[in-house]
Structure 1
């Protein structure tokens, strides 16, 4: 009798969460106390509140939108090359861009000629996100942003309400490619600027499935 009771029980085994690419909405990640991490990340517990997809010509990235007690959003993607890294992105406002970069130099990012970017002011809040010098690697790369998780939902390749939002991406990196600046220019002219940080997966000390 107990065998059949167990067989038809409604109880489900707890979901195992061992890899970053298994994260779902409401899951929690706990970050290390490394002094290399900015204050927005160091020793923080962050909850996955959204999952989106960035579609490019040859690959699609999952974006996990994280939030902690401060209410600030942090964006997480996986960077897989010879090794796997986690990429954190932090959006900065127009006033921040004007304060930490020279705007005339920043404008050259959108010209085809090779360009570089230099930080002109250290900001205590953004300090560990920034480096002194960047060079551009991606110019006007076309992508599509989907408010869907491509791991479980098909991405539409047609125009219409299910189509992704098209944008151009410009990316700059420091000399060892541990930090960067990503710029997304949308079709309506809106421009989003993100400071990016590449870290080893081991900086995530623990992960907990959401309720």
Structure 2
């Protein structure tokens, strides 16, 4: 069944669907439809995105879920949820070293990895496709936070084993308005993943579609 077949399902399918009303209930194969507000980046605006994979980040005193999203394009996006005073959606987009260099001065960006972890990053002129993924000034908020990345493991239903996870250190900075972030994960051997993040209200998910 194709992407839109999954979205709308079959009219002959009389099986009861499970309740799906909030992000914490999302499973692989579910689909979310986002608001069409121009406040959202074009990659997200009005899109229907399928949950392709669920990962887990494990830290000393906490764990967090990451949902891998894909729509009708080849772009892979990530979703997590922050539960502070107000529940917030955090969408992430992985970027290459070349794009990092287009958005930030690389010498300045490298300060993220220097002690005492107080880097200040200033975004340069942004490529149009990233204009709604980045702020202007970022201040470091995490330095060498150690953890384990569990690929395709949903800790909500499975027990975690550190030996099966990939160890990493996380370095991150947040914009002054707290709407945007940049995160770097450094794995053994030096492999580094960089993502841009944007925080959005939970109401940006307009509809939930349980998998057939």
- Normalising by structure 2, we get a TM-score of 0.90
Does the alignment pair 1:164 with 2:168? no
Does the alignment pair 1:60 with 2:63? yes
Task: Name the structure 2 match of 1:26.
Answer: 29
Give the distance between the partners of 1:119 and 1:94, measured in 2 at CA.
15
Give the distance between the partners of 1:72 and 1:175, measured in 2 at CA.
28
Residue 42 of structure 1: CA displacement?
0.4
Task: Name the structure 1 match of 2:102.
Answer: 99
Task: Name the structure 2 match of 1:88.
Answer: 91
Which of residues 127, 142, 145 is equivalent to 1:141?
145
Structure 1 stretches lacking a partner, 5+ long: 1-10
Residue 13 of structure 1: CA displacement?
3.0
Give the distance between the partners of 2:177 and 2:82, measured in 1 at CA.
15
Larger Rg: 1
For residue 105 of structure 1, give the secondary structure of its aligned residue in structure 2.
Answer: helix
Structure 2 stretches lacking a partner, 5+ long: 1-13
Task: Name the structure 2 match of 1:108.
Answer: 111
For residue 129 of structure 1, give the secondary structure of its aligned residue in structure 2.
Answer: coil
Cα shift readout 1:39-87 (whole Å, capped 9, x = no counterpart): 1100100000001101111111111000000121110001011110010
Structure 1 runs of 4+ aligned residues shifted over 6 Å read: none
Residue 14 of structure 1: CA displacement?
1.6
Cα shift readout 1:162-197 (whole Å, capped 9, x = no counterpart): x21000001100012111001100011011110001
Task: Name the structure 1 match of 2:5.
Answer: none
Does the alignment pair 1:203 with 2:204? yes
Residue 19 of structure 1: CA displacement?
1.1
Task: Please give the residue correspondences for 1:44-55 in structure 2 after superposition, counting only pairs within 5 Å.
Answer: 44-55=47-58
Task: Name the structure 2 match of 1:132.
Answer: 136
Does the alignment pair 1:16 with 2:19? yes
Residue 12 of structure 1: CA displacement?
5.6
Task: Please give the residue correspondences for 1:183-198 in structure 2 after superposition, counting only pairs within 5 Å.
Answer: 183-198=184-199
Task: Compute the RMSD of aligned alpha carbons.
Answer: 1.1
Task: Name the structure 2 match of 1:6.
Answer: none
Give the distance between the partners of 2:183 and 2:83, measured in 1 at CA.
17
